[in-house]
Structure 1
Amino acid sequence: MISVRHGALAVLSAVAVLAIPAAASAHRQWLLPSSTVLSGNDPWITVDAAVSNELFYFDHNPMRLDSLTVTAPDGAKGEIKNGSTGKYRSTFDVQLDKPGTYKIGSASDGLMASYKLNGEQKRWRGAAAEAATAIPKEATEVKLTESSRRLEIFATRGAPTKEVLKLTGKGLEVDFVTHPNDLVVSEPAQFKLLLDGKPAAGVEVEVVPGGNRYRAATGEMKLTTDAQGAFTAKWPGAGMYWLEATVRGGKSTIANAERSASYVTTLEVLPD
């Protein structure tokens, strides 16, 4: 546990967490699959991964592939193939060699700090275990934020399955009442937002359609969860949609730290 006393940061015990991607708040981080509903004997998908100002357009930074994992329909570890990182985006392939639903994504935790040193404002971001040496003991006005981020997409070969949709009870998660690979434009989709396994009530969820670079209006939707964390999305048209929710507050595992948790996914809505 990490605590702050008289402006100094003291480590009582290390908390093993991973540093989260350093994307500016104005930028959107996303995974964009070539398809999410597939059939046949040997289906593959190609996924673009980036951080950008324009949704699903490569104009800022590539997403690093190191932390991404693939979970097969039976819960076994899958494989990222043909991974490549360029100037503005990364790309990789996933072979859907088993029937059912796959999950592709990452879950990360990190610590952010702001403090003053000799009257100058400083900022730091990294793993909690590094904080004791990264932040000078003489620092004052130390403010800590424990951050967690979950980024994931889903793709299904054949009939949808639910093994990879099981919740971990950690961080911000979506309980897909409507399967993420069973979305059609004429049917509202039901979701529940959970923080550490409990309903996240009163949280704003942003849903943005892709392909808006050349539109005058982005068509984004602002939805709010109810007391049970539930919310409903009604699709104005078929296509890819980016969904993000962020919760600030709640119980932190680090003493004297605020908390921020976010969830991001890309969903494909099919025509009737």
Structure 2
Amino acid sequence: MNNWLKIALLTSLPVLSHAHTMSPFLLPEVFDTKAASNISFQSAITVEKFFVAGNNFKTSYVITQPDGQQKPVTAAATLKRFNIAEVDLPTDGTYRIRTQDAVGNSGKYALVDGRWLRVRPVRAGMQNPAPAKAAETATAQKAPAPTQPPRMIAADQVPANAKTLEVTNHLIAESYVTKGKPSAIPLPSKKGFEFKLLTHPNELYAGESLKAQVLMNGKPVPNLEVDVFKGASSYEPNAKREQPHVKTNAKGEVEIKFEQAGIYLMTASYPEANPDATKKPATDNFTYGLTVEVTE
């Protein structure tokens, strides 16, 4: 079956309910080609890691060519659940395809009684007749004690004098395609959240590893969890998608070993979820997805 037809069929499947957080991904039609003048790719948000597109997100793309030149690319088709785009491959070498200026839903937090609570919109028909006092909202003094402290608050319950904070969620997805012989991959820009690949992504084989360094504005990110997922088709309902996760070391370096051939998605979030709501949230959050193919 043609690879692109296979991708299209897989993305038509319904999304299953999972506990995993949603991640952006970018999936090329092929990762390695001998003489194609262009290839297609798709991008989407996935919950069912990762062949099933859950939702689309607004983005353009930037293609870094083997000579280092960067070319902008826009989607050829923007659908509800995913984008489809094409990229030209004018010369031999390795191309990086990366989303650009993509943001998820923004978030708002309010500091109530010493805790930063996420502000959720008030749903139609569920407005309270009168806003509760801040102490009643945050600590539920007039209600049975909850098993855990509250982490959210309705917009109409936020005290008028509460400090608030807007949070931007940045979505980054990238992949690499090689035409002919592989060439050097682009160096990191040292801006924002990046994976500096120490292993060529188009020369991965079963039983070997991908090595990378995770950077934030050019500085190593230590002790960050990286999740790994193996693609599986609709004909493999019992396939084990989730692989053992790994963590970066003190230098921000990570090694991901692939036991089997296939297509893999590596995801990471920065900063990681903060279990202590007393800590002020970061104003910028990053969710990253890298797609690679591992061959026999």
Q: What is the TM-score of this pair, normalised by structure 1? A: 0.72
Partner Cα distance (1:261, 1:60) in 2:
19
Unaligned runs of 5+ in 2: 1-18, 111-118, 122-130, 133-152, 273-279
Instruction: Tell me what 1:50 maps to.
Output: 44
Could you tell me which residue of structure 1 aligns to residue 194 of structure 2?
173
Using the aligned pairs only, state the percent identity: 25
Contact 2:24 2:287 (8 Å CA) reproduced: no
Aligned equivalent of 2:91, options 94, 98, 104: 98
Give the Å deviation of 1:241.
0.4
2:63 maps to 1:70: yes
SS of equivalent to 1:78: strand
Change (3 A) 1:139 1:73: farther
Whole-Å Cα distance in 2 between the matches of residues 146 and 49 of structure 1?
Answer: 20
Pairing 1:122–2:130 present: no
Could you say if the C-alpha distance between residues 139 and 84 of structure 1 is closer, same or farther in structure 2, counting changes exceeding 3 Å? farther
Contact kept? 1:103, 1:155, Cα under 8 Å: yes
- 1:117-266 pair list within 5 angstroms: 121-122=154-155, 138=160, 140-162=162-184, 164-211=185-232, 214-215=237-238, 217-248=240-271, 258=282, 259-266=284-291
Cα gap change, 1:139 to 1:36, in 2 (>3 Å): farther
TM-score by length of 2: 0.66
1:266, distance to aligned residue in structure 2 (A):
0.5
RMSD: 3.0
Higher strand share: 1
Q: 1:59, CA displacement in angstroms?
A: 5.1
**Aligned residue identity for 1:150:** I
Structure 2 CA distance for partners of 1:236 and 1:212, relative to 1, 3 Å: farther
Give 1:109 deviation, angstroms. Answer: 7.3
Residues 78 and 144 of structure 1, relative CA distance in 2, 3 Å threshold: closer
CA–CA separation in structure 2 for the residues paired with 1:236 and 1:143? 44
Structure 1 unmatched runs, 5+: 1-23, 124-135, 250-255
Q: Is the CA contact (8 Å cut-off) linking 2:77 and 2:84 kept in structure 1?
A: yes
Q: What displacement does 1:57 show? A: 3.6
Q: Contact 1:51/1:62 (CA < 8 Å) preserved in 2?
A: yes
Q: Partners of 1:92 and 1:34 in 2: how far apart? A: 10
Cα deviation code 1:131-154 (max 9, x no counterpart): xxxxx9x56241343544432111
Specify the SS of the correspondent of 2:90: coil
Superposed CA deviations along residues 17-63 of structure 1, whole A, max 9, x for unmatched, are: xxxxxxx97323211111111222x4322112222322244453234
User: After TM superposition, what 4+ stretches of structure 1 lie above 6 angstroms from structure 2?
Assistant: none
Distance in 2 (CA, whole Å) between partners of 1:225 and 1:30 is: 21
> What amino acid sits opposite 1:52 in the alignment?
T
Shift of 1:206: 0.5
Q: Deviations over 1:130-182 (max 9, x none)?
A: xxxxxx9x5624134354443211111122222x5211112221111101111
Q: Which residue type is aligned with residue 232 of structure 1?
A: E
- TM-aligned CA deviation for residue 208 of structure 1: 0.5
Q: How many residues align?
A: 227
> In 2, distance between residues paired with 1:155 and 1:139?
52
139 and 104 in structure 1: CA distance in 2 versus 1, 3 angstrom threshold: farther
Which protein is bigger by CA-based radius of gyration?
A: 2
Specify the SS of the correspondent of 1:60.
Answer: strand
- Give the whole-Å Cα distance in 2 for the aligned partners of 1:62 and 1:143: 26
Secondary structure, aligned partner of 1:105: strand
